[in-house]
Structure 1
Amino acid sequence: MEQKHTPEYAHLKAGVTGSDLLEAVRRSGYPLQAAVADKLQQALSENDIWGEVQEEWAYIDRESGQARALDVFADIPLSRSAKGGEAHCRLNILIECKQSELPYVFFLRKEAPQNSVAFPEIIGTAGPDMQIFAPVNDGKMPPNFSYLLSVHDALACHEFQVFDNPPFHAISLTKAARRGGSKLELTGEDAYRSITLPLLKSADHLTSIAPRGDRDPIRFLASLAVVDAPMIGTLQHDGKNVFLAVPWVRMSYLEPFNERQSWNRTASKVRYFDVVHSSRLSRYLDVLLKGVGACADRAIENYSVLKSGVAVMGSEDEYVKMHELEEERRKYITEGPMGRIFKAYGGRQLKLQEGAEIAEDVIAVLDW
């Protein structure tokens, strides 16, 4: 009987077995990255959307100047003009994948840390804010009165769940670890370096290279971490620590104001990214694609004023189309806005029933 020859490249050495390799691959995180990319492609197909999905997307670290790689990146055209099919809005999804047997722990808050929607980020407009003038027939304000309104509020993004209604908000993210023995500890440094920094820096790189001309796309930037690990939130309730298992958390990260006008506010600028459990990724992507797609339609309807940064609009909290400022009032633009206005925030609040007896070492399971 002829013995089959095993080629040299198939010989495992140094005592390595197939089981060893399988365990190493499972722990590496690369299968999770591939699965996330596949789920993203599937979500695009199910929503009848074409988009480019790329793994190991390269970006430049703004601090070190070094090239780094993000696990998954997507560039998705959302709306096309009637002339020539030119894309005017795009969704860019930036994803970092992490897996762990030990949990990620989120320090939850009962409501969002600011009263204005700011996720996903919107770039490609004249700026993060619009200078809004009241209609001439309003009769309540002088013709030169204007105010600042964020682009998110101008498009009434709060009317869509992915912008305004994530199930849970958190101010800090930590990872459980065992150091120097079996005692469990929480470290914020690991999560900061492996999740927060890559997502923020890759978003900053994309913002810096994206063209911003009058005919260039308006972009929605959604940064998220997909984790295959227990996701445990903790919240203070009646003087106790309550633990909640949660599938989707919106993380906030505070930065000092830079170019954006703060109008004498001393509070920090808030940036966001989402953390989603891998088992809920398909559902999350469906919410994201539908919400951003609907908001992109509004951006197309207001394309010219978003590019100019100046518009006429009523004071309604719900969405209304913006209009170009009349020629006779354009002389008032240089006078600048007289203040900043926020649209009514209707985000969810996390509430626990008063007097509810919840043991501190019990983990309640929540979903959305």
Structure 2
Amino acid sequence: MPSSVMSTPKLRDGRQSPDAVSAVGLRKSYGDKTVLDGIDLRIPAGSVFALLGPNGAGKTTTVQILSTLITADGGQAEVAGHDVATAPDGVRAAIGVTGQFSAVDGLITGEENMLLMADLHHLSKSEGRRVAAELLERFDLTEAAKKPASTYSGGMKRRLDIAMTLVGSPRIIFLDEPTTGLDPRSRHNMWQIIRELVTGGVTVFLTTQYLNEADELADRIAVLNDGKIAAEGTAEELKRLIPGGHVRLRFTDPSAYRSAAHALSEATHDEESLSLQIPSDGSQRELRSILDWLDSAGIEADELTVHTPDLDDVFFALTGSGVPSQKTKEDVR
């Protein structure tokens, strides 16, 4: 299996973009444990980049290096055009970081958390209040602004966390597993926030263990495993790395099943369920070909289901974390 998908990074509208983040040969070890073993990254400005990997793969370490929280043992990296090793102040001025664990102070109100961040960014008192009020409104936190942050729900705390990150108007935001522990509604709200940030020109570097999150949001995805990038590309490019796509035909009429099974020698037969499984990439052309053949042969299938590999399958195949399972992506009846 190829270890990467070679394609030039582009934005969703197809335009080329300058790099917001680039890294070559990043290495990091803790004692005799190699966490990053020479990884390369290239992230266009104004895009969402998702870094996937099992626990302990090095996702947080990568974020910490690129955000200047720790130093790499080897390699080079630039963020917003600044070298993370020789110009860390330039990097810090251009980025925002929301870590796995909330930076919200629960003992003070949401508004006070925002004003504290404004002070840290050396905003004037009036400017700080203006920015805090705008962001609290943007993240639907105005009504709760005067309440202690300890009373906020998990989703509210996460929104406040990101609002605090935006006080300094960063061009690049690192979101390290931003939706871990959130309920589905809060997770979808967070997705919308991320989409709005990118629409506004912000570059988002996202680490996540939710594969549907990467599928929904990311322009490009990299899978990190054993300290190396196991594969990188768009979601669709990564899915094409994994075999196993097929079309399943199910019959209720045994004679129709037998006729189809006799004609479709390449299909896998399941006599108990009266179904056939035909290898397919799920393309419109292949589906049309199957439907045309059924019509011309006078055979009627009671159910046609398209199965394609998803990011779960990609993740399992590249990291060895479990057994890939096929997910139904579309049903045609």
Q: Which has the higher helix share?
A: 2
TM range (shorter): under 0.3
**TM-score relative to the length of structure 1:** 0.23
Q: Which has the higher strand share?
A: 1
